[in-house]
Amino acid sequence: MSDFDSAASTPAPAGSRPVKRRRVYGDNDDYSSPDELGDHKPHRPSRLSTRRDSAARRRAHSSDGSVDELNHSYHSRNRSRSSSVDTSHSSIDAPTPYRPLKLNYKTKFILKGHRKGVSQVRFSPDGRWIASCSADGTIKIWDAVTGKHMRTMEGHLAGVSTIAWSPDSNTIASGSDDKAIRLWHRATGKPFAVPLLGHHNYVYSLAFSPKGNMLVSGSYDEAVVLWDLRARRVMKTLPAHSDPVGGVDFIRDGTLVCSCSTDGLIRVWDTATGQCLRTLVHEDNPQVTTVRFSPNGRYILAFTLDSCVRLWDYVSGTCKKTYQGHVNTKYSLGGAFGISNTEGFIVSGSEDGNLVFWDVKTKDVVQKVSGHEGVVCWVDTSPQPNGPVVSGGLDGTVRIWVDVNEDDEEIGGVNGLKLEPEDGSENVKMENGAGFDDTPRDDASDDGRSPSRMEED
């Protein structure tokens, strides 16, 4: 539920599902450089050919047409593109060897104010603000540079599981256990007059379209809903999955939506028609809790409850990379793509209190950092290259991290700003006391996404 866009920490259902054997997808398939994930590369056409997806094929690994049919137009176009590229680069020397990614993220600010677990954190598209939501039923806005608390937005009747920024960074959407979606003015903290109602269970994931005129939501009612934000009404309700929907996201041009569920399926939808264009499932059928498109729209990153993060080529229906090294067997964790200099990385939270960073190309863990007490529910990256990273956890804190080179670390500064000690009181940005209601809410769950929720359902 960022430029790298949009469920944070509720575990999956306790009931076990039968595992069916499926085709094995190799993690070592050919894969080009991590720069492919960047926005500066031409992206794969996002319009897949539409085929009606029948309910009888829910568990099929490719539900709509063959790979050849889906890829026909793309490969013919790609052949002509490749021939022109080969011609233009015929006189260029061999590419320089790939240099391994190096990261050194350190805590810059610890932001306190939420009274219960933080389920999601999101950078605004312009990188100026951070939004966080919590089981305490509130959404908070923070200054991404200074860590200053700007405002708190209250109005939901239960815990808030998901938030999303509009492309202009002026509106925030929030989804709650009260089954409602609310829109908020970032500058004033005031809600729009009428909430979006239509889901029949917890709202768990949200994402804005690139133009900001549509919103997609995923819910425990197993549906994916497309909303027309100008008319404030439901555009389409997609009977997407057979279990709660954990994650949804828009592709960069707005023509496709992806969704995932604890039924083990990842699905790609045509925004205009509501047709399911592709269904992806791994041979082990792990429960999928979060999905997001890569920045260039070519791949889908999927977080699963077998302690893996997988990178899928959704046109060919193959898993290209599997990233391991974190702990994720119980909670719905989230992460993001990031850029360091010119190289790509992936970051995720972990149930052991760490943030884990991987090199996109090599799959190597390039850094593990600790700081939160307990589960790190969500991590997001700044839209700018080499920017900060923000995390939120069940300990109720939001942390801002910055990449520090060794020289800066020795002198204790980052771009002229002092790196404050992690345990010192001066690095904690407390909420202003004025207008802050510290009364515990009886209608909010203890940790945002309680382990018993799905069992109750």
pLDDT at 207 over 50: yes
pLDDT at 453 over 80: no
Q: What type of residue is 122?
A: R
Residue 193's contacts (CB-CB under 8 Å, 6 or more residues apart) are none
Residue 424's contacts (CB-CB under 8 Å, 6 or more residues apart) are none
pLDDT category, 380, cuts 50, 70, 90?
very high
Q: Which of 415, 366, 368 is nearest to 388 (CA)?
A: 415
User: What is the mean predicted confidence (pLDDT) over 430-434?
Assistant: 38
Per-residue model confidence (pLDDT) at position 70: 42
Rounded to 10 degrees, what is the CA torsion of 20, 21, 23, 28? 110
Q: Which of 115, 174, 127 is nearest to 439 (CA)?
A: 115
**CB-CB contact of 381 with 123 (8 Å):** yes
Per-residue model confidence (pLDDT) at position 36: 52
Calculate the CA 337 to chain-centre distance: 9
How far apart, in whole angstroms, are the C-alpha atoms of residue 194 and residue 178?
14
| 154-177 pLDDT tens trace | 999 999 999 999 999 999 999 999
| 242-269 pLDDT tens trace | 999 999 999 999 999 999 999 999 999 9
Per DSSP, the three-state class of 249 is strand
Q: Name residue 278's beta-bridge partners.
A: 268
Q: What type of residue is 128?
A: R
| 392-407 pLDDT tens trace | 999 999 999 999 976 6
User: What mean pLDDT, rounded, does the chain reach?
Assistant: 78
**CB-CB contact of 137 with 157 (8 Å):** yes
Of the chain, the end-to-end C-alpha distance in Å amounts to 21
Rounded to 10 degrees, what is the CA torsion of 232, 237, 241, 246? 0
Per-residue model confidence (pLDDT) at position 15: 43
Per-residue model confidence (pLDDT) at position 385: 87
Q: What type of residue is 377?
A: C
How far apart, in whole angstroms, are the C-alpha atoms of residue 207 and residue 257?
9
Per-residue model confidence (pLDDT) at position 342: 86
Calculate the CA 125 to chain-centre distance: 14
pLDDT at 421 over 60: no
Q: Which of 161, 166, 126, 188 is nearest to 245 (CA)?
A: 161
Q: Which two structure tokens, joined as six digits, stand for 299?
A: 């791949």
E-only strand ranges, 192-298: 196-197, 203-208, 214-219, 224-228, 233-238, 245-250, 256-261, 266-270, 276-280, 288-293
pLDDT at 317 over 90: yes
**CB-CB contact of 173 with 206 (8 Å):** yes
